[in-house]
Structure formats: C-alpha cells, structure tokens
Amino acid sequence: MGIPNLQIAHIKPSVPIFQGGMGIGISLSGLASAVANAGGVGIISGTGITLEEMRYHIRKARELTNGQGYIGVNVLFAMNDFAEKMKAAMEEKVDFIISGAGISRDMYAWGREYNVPVISIVSSAKVARLSERLGAAAVVVEGHEAGGHLGTDRPLFEILPEVLETVKIPVLAAGGIMTGADVAKAMKMGATGVQMGTRFVASVECDAPMSFKQMYVDAVPEDLELVKTTVGLQGRVIKNKFIDMIRAGGKVKVDKCTDCLKSCSYRFCTSESLKRSVAGDTETGLVFAGARVGEIKEILPVKQIIDKIMEECKQAYPIDQNNLALS
C-alpha cells in the first residue's frame, strides 16, 4: 500500500503537501514556486501586499515553475480588500483560492463564475459542513498548533476525525504538521493531504528575511505566547520587546491606518507590526509561529524539507508484498 494520491478538482500534485499561505510577504513567489517545483502545492498570500504586487507574484511564480505545478492564492475574509484580491487572483488564472478567517456565500459563487476551485480553512465540523454546502472544493482543518491567527483552542487531531465524518469533500490537515510521521498519521485517519506553514518559513526560498527565519531556528517552546491581535483572534507569537510592550499596556503608535480590517480593535496595528518583523525588525514587530517551531534546527532548501518528509511518510506506509509480487 503506497501513500494515497491527492486530488482536489484538477489539482494532482505528486506530493500531498500544501504550503500554507503566510501574509505580509512571507509566502510570495519565491516560496510558493519552490514548493510547487518540489512536487507540492505552493500558495502566495495576497494579504498585506498591493493588488499589483499580488499579480506580479502570481506571474513570477508561473515563470519560476515554467507553468508547471500548482499555485494558489490565500485571501483573508477578515480584510476589506478580500473580494478585490480574490477576483484579481482568479483573473490571473491561479489554480485555486484558499480563504481563511471566515467564509461567505459570494466567494464560492465567484469561484464557479471563474471556474476556479475555492478551498476554505476551517476549525470545526460545523463550518466544514457549511463550506461544503456552499461549494468548497476542499477544506483545510486547522488546529490550535498552527501558526498565524487561530480559529480554535482545540488540537488538530481532535477536530480532524469530526470533520472527516461530516464532509465528503477532500480534507487537508493543518497545524503542527512537522514530520513525515505526522503526514502519515493524518492521511491514515482519512485526510487527503496536509498544509504546513511553520516548517516552510525556515527554508532557503521563503520570502521572509533571514532575521525572521533565524528567530524560528533559535526559538524554544518557552519563547511562545498567545496574543489577541486587533483582528479579534489569537495568534501564537515568539516573545520579543513588542510583546512585552503590549502586555505592559503600552500604546503603540500607528503610522498610517488604512482601515484594512472589516472589524478592528485599533489597540495597535496588526498589519504594521507584522510588516516591521517581515522587514527584518524582529524585536518591535509581531513574529507569528506554529506550536512546533522549537523542533526546527536549521534553514533548509524546500526540496530537502519535502524529500525528507516524504521519505519518513513512506516508511509509515508498508509496501504491500502481494502487489509487489504481482508487478
């Protein structure tokens, strides 16, 4: 018995791994194309970049993959530019749209109009069922271990079986997937594949600066904290001066509010503080990371990361001796 193949609409990668969209310039054409070239599925995040920058990175990724492989775009429902970004990405003929931080009926209708599959990120069986009913091509179930904003306080492997029982569309498991054994565990439970974020940040091709990647390599579990951002959701961060300051109730000056969120608490600017860290200032910005970041020991090329995971995953799938004898 080999590793089952992943198929979502026309998307049939050789490796059942999606690289999660990571906003504010962390997953752009560099990372997404490297993952697609290694056999996985690359995702450009449309969050925190301009429409023109997003179009540029979609085209660049196509160039870097010679038009082969699969590239999707991640948009966040919580952002005011959600509809505009989603439609522009579909005009650029991305392979799929993956939407997080909420769902709407409209987004699936736009997907049908442009003939682009829409995948939803969910954290409960209830929202998974609703997404399926509205027309999602697949769902990503994200547990509490994930990097970025969190939709639940429950671990992935507790929610995954509930979602698998509830929907018939393909399900990808996300949050704390780090090794091939994790991938095999999720797939043996019935997941079609996985989505990974944190491990890919510490890759050579990730679009974030070296200081951001190095924070990942240096982090130990005690460095992690949960912080509620102005989006109204918690996110796991690596502690730094910025976190000490907001914990102490300090006022963080906002340079320029663009009213980017549909609903914002205005306590500080989440977007500006993420931009600061992704510009290299990892002390006075927000550094999101997944719960298992402490296991990352080195920054590696994407292909090496994926090959190692797939090798480990294969070992968890014993070769069917009967089939081998027949072939």
Ligand X SMILES: Cc1cc2nc3c(=O)[nH]c(=O)nc-3n(C[C@H](O)[C@H](O)[C@H](O)COP(=O)(O)O)c2cc1C
Tally of CB atoms within 10 A around 13: 22
Does the footprint of ligand X cover residue 152 (CB under 6 A)? no
Contacts 24+ apart (CB under 8 A), 86-92: 86/46, 86/110, 87/114, 88/51, 88/54, 88/55, 89/46, 89/54, 89/58, 89/116, 90/114, 90/116, 92/55, 92/58, 92/59
Q: Supply the minimum distance, in Å, between the C-beta of residue 289 and ligand X.
A: 5
Q: Which of 198, 229, 270, 282 binds ligand X (CB under 6 A)?
A: 198
Site for ligand X in 91-110 (CB under 6 A): 100
Going by C-alpha positions, the residue among 8, 327, 9, 291 that lies closest to residue 157 is: 291
Which C-beta is closer to ligand X: that of 69 or that of 148?
Answer: 148
112-120, 170-178, 184-192, 262-270 -> range binding ligand X (CB under 6 A) = 170-178
Which C-beta is closer to ligand X: that of 37 or that of 270?
Answer: 270
Q: Which of 288, 302, 306, 313 binds ligand X (CB under 6 A)?
A: 288
Does the footprint of ligand X cover residue 151 (CB under 6 A)? no
20-28, 108-116, 122-130, 224-232 -> range binding ligand X (CB under 6 A) = 20-28
109-117, 140-148, 164-172, 255-263 -> range binding ligand X (CB under 6 A) = 140-148
Going by C-alpha positions, the residue among 233, 177, 219 that lies closest to residue 200 is: 177
Q: Supply the minimum distance, in Å, between the C-beta of residue 253 and ligand X.
A: 23
Does the footprint of ligand X cover residue 36 (CB under 6 A)? no
Does the footprint of ligand X cover residue 145 (CB under 6 A)? yes
Does the footprint of ligand X cover residue 20 (CB under 6 A)? yes
Tokens read off for 198? 């944190």
In the chain, the N- to C-terminal Cα span, in Å, equals 13
Going by C-alpha positions, the residue among 164, 159, 172, 178 that lies closest to residue 6 is: 172
Q: Which of 21, 69, 111, 170 binds ligand X (CB under 6 A)?
A: 21
Does the footprint of ligand X cover residue 47 (CB under 6 A)? yes
Q: Supply the minimum distance, in Å, between the C-beta of residue 22 and ligand X.
A: 4
d(CA 48, CA 23): 6
Q: Which of 42, 175, 285, 294 binds ligand X (CB under 6 A)?
A: 175
- Cβ–Cβ < 8 Å for 73, 118: no
Q: Supply the minimum distance, in Å, between the C-beta of residue 78 and ligand X.
A: 10
d(CA 234, CA 113): 34
Q: Supply the minimum distance, in Å, between the C-beta of residue 94 and ligand X.
A: 15
Burial string for 32-53 (b: 16+ CB within 10 Å, else e) reads bbbbbbbbbbbbbbbbbbeeee
Which C-beta is closer to ligand X: that of 2 or that of 120?
Answer: 120
# of chain residues touching ligand X (CB under 6 A): 29
Q: Which of 142, 182, 205, 272 binds ligand X (CB under 6 A)?
A: 142
Helix (H, G, I), strand (E, B) or coil at 224: strand
Residue ranges binding ligand X (CB under 6 A): 20-23, 26, 45, 47, 74, 76, 100, 121, 142, 145-148, 174-177, 195-198, 201, 288-290, 292
